[in-house]
Structure 1
Amino acid sequence: MEGDDIKRISRLTAILTQLQTKRIVTAASLSEKFRVTRRTIYRDIKALEKAGVPVLTEEGKGYTLMEGFRIPPIMFTEQQANALILAEQLVLKSKDASFVQDYSEAMDKIKSIFRYTIQDKANLLADRTQYDEALNQERNSSNLSDLQYALTNYNLVKIQYINKEGIATDREIEPFAILNSENWYLIAWCRLREEFRFFRPDRIQKMDVLTEKFEPHKMSLQEYFDKYQ
């Protein structure tokens, strides 16, 4: 995800928060708050409308939300909540302090409307996800969403994994944490090797999230590093 995309996602989130907390919001005030042109704000409002947000325009006054509209908890699936948590980790690496503060405040308001079960899982994922900024990062896997789900629900995962020597093995793993440094990495307990191992999602050839549960590993990510690194 490019920096401009991250900024736009955070701005759309913050604009929606403004619309939910104020009776009328003007394009001029939003333009000044986010330091963008009014034309950019007009495009953002259209993007929210296309996403199903009932934004109404009051002639000569500004924008308002349809009476009674609020983002209901059911609007966010667990996977969508996980995606927001991951985006938050990317944003927190921004060097603009005000940008980080605005996004963090918006995320706190979004988290407040999650169902309690999703809140707990979102907080767990936030604690178990670490992102180190990498330049020119390319999309090289499509497993992260399912791995996030397995991590927060303690589901055993069966994978066919190819190591750096090109050797394929079938394994059952217990996802523990997700990291990023140039590539995405999964820390998981490998039942085949009977120890924690690092896995690159782009080397997972096949993957099934099983219904079987595993016993949660009762330690934080920092405690893992202290113990194993």
Structure 2
Amino acid sequence: MEYSEVNRLSRLTAILVRFQTKRIITATELSEKFQVSKRTIYRDVKALEKAGVPILTEEGKGYSLMEGYRIPPVMFTEKQVNALILAEQLVLKSKDTSFVQDYAEAIDKIKSILRYTIQDKANLLADRTQYDEALNQERNSSNLSDLQNALTNYKLVKIRYVNKEGSTTDRIIEPFAVLSAENWYLIAWCRLRKEFRFFRPDRIQKMEVLSENFDPHKLTLQEYFDKYQSAP
């Protein structure tokens, strides 16, 4: 995810929270708050409306939320929350401390209205996700969201995987953690090799999240590194 995309995501989140705490908001106020043009704010409001947020336009006054509307737990699916957690990891690497603080506060407010089961899963994913900035890296996989979901729900995943030598194998894995260095990596227990392995999502040719659960691994990400001292 590019920085501009993360920046917009954080702004949309903060605008939504601001709508919850103030009855009338003007485009001018929002543009000054987030240091963007009013045209950008108009596009953000349209995006929120398309996402199902009932925003009312009061002529000559500004925007408001439909009376009685609150963000319901069902508004954010589990995968959407997982995406926010990943974005949070990118934001935490920002050198702008105010930006980090604003986004962290917005994420906390979102977590506060989630169902407890999704809260627990979001916190688990946050603890099991690590991001290290790398310039000019390409993102060419489409499996990360499903892998996150399998991780937080302890679901086995069947994959057809091509390693760096070009060999293809079919494996059953137990997703454990997600991190990024020069690319995204999944740490998972491989039932074929009977050990923890690093997998690159862009090397997964075929994937199926199975209905069968696995027993959670009773260690944190830091404990994993301390114990196995592995590197991608």
Give TM-score, length-normalised by structure 2: 0.94
- Equivalent residues of 2:71, 2:113 under 8 A apart: yes
Deviates more, 1:21-30 or 1:99-108: 21-30
For residue 204 of structure 1, report the CA deviation from its aligned partner: 1.2
Q: How does 1:97-116 map to 2 (within 5 A)?
A: 97-116=97-116
Deviates more, 1:43-52 or 1:76-85: 43-52
Give the counterpart letter for 2:102 in structure 1: D
Deviations 1:28-71 (A, max 9, x none): 22222212222322222222223221111223322110101111
Q: Report the secondary structure of 1:99's partner residue.
A: helix
Q: Report the secondary structure of 1:211's partner residue.
A: strand
1:201 counterpart = 2:201: yes
Segments of 4+ moved more than 4 angstroms: none
Instruction: Tell me the equivalent position of 1:223.
Output: 223
Q: How does 1:152-167 map to 2 (within 5 A)?
A: 152-167=152-167
| Distance in 2, Cα, partners of 1:202 & 1:41 | 35
For residue 217 of structure 1, report the CA deviation from its aligned partner: 0.6
Deviates more, 1:55-64 or 1:203-212: 55-64
Instruction: Tell me the equivalent position of 1:142.
Output: 142
Instruction: Tell me the equivalent position of 1:28.
Output: 28
Q: Report the secondary structure of 2:63's partner residue.
A: strand
Instruction: Tell me the equivalent position of 2:121.
Output: 121
Q: How many residues align?
A: 229
| Distance in 2, Cα, partners of 1:175 & 1:30 | 40
Give the counterpart letter for 2:189 in structure 1: W
Give the counterpart letter for 2:115 in structure 1: R
Give the counterpart letter for 1:214 in structure 2: F
Give the counterpart letter for 1:154 in structure 2: Y
Deviations 1:171-221 (A, max 9, x none): 111110011111111111111111111111111111111111111111110
Deviates more, 1:125-134 or 1:48-57: 48-57
Q: Report the secondary structure of 1:158's partner residue.
A: strand
Deviates more, 1:170-179 or 1:51-60: 51-60
Give the counterpart letter for 1:137 in structure 2: Q
Deviates more, 1:39-48 or 1:101-110: 39-48
Stretches of structure 1 that go unaligned for 5 or more consecutive residues are none
Deviates more, 1:73-82 or 1:26-35: 26-35
- Equivalent residues of 2:139, 2:183 under 8 A apart: no
Q: Report the secondary structure of 1:170's partner residue.
A: strand
| Distance in 1, Cα, partners of 2:50 & 2:217 | 42
| Distance in 1, Cα, partners of 2:44 & 2:158 | 41
Instruction: Tell me the equivalent position of 2:94.
Output: 94
| Distance in 1, Cα, partners of 2:167 & 2:37 | 53
| Distance in 2, Cα, partners of 1:201 & 1:224 | 20
Give TM-score, length-normalised by structure 1: 0.95
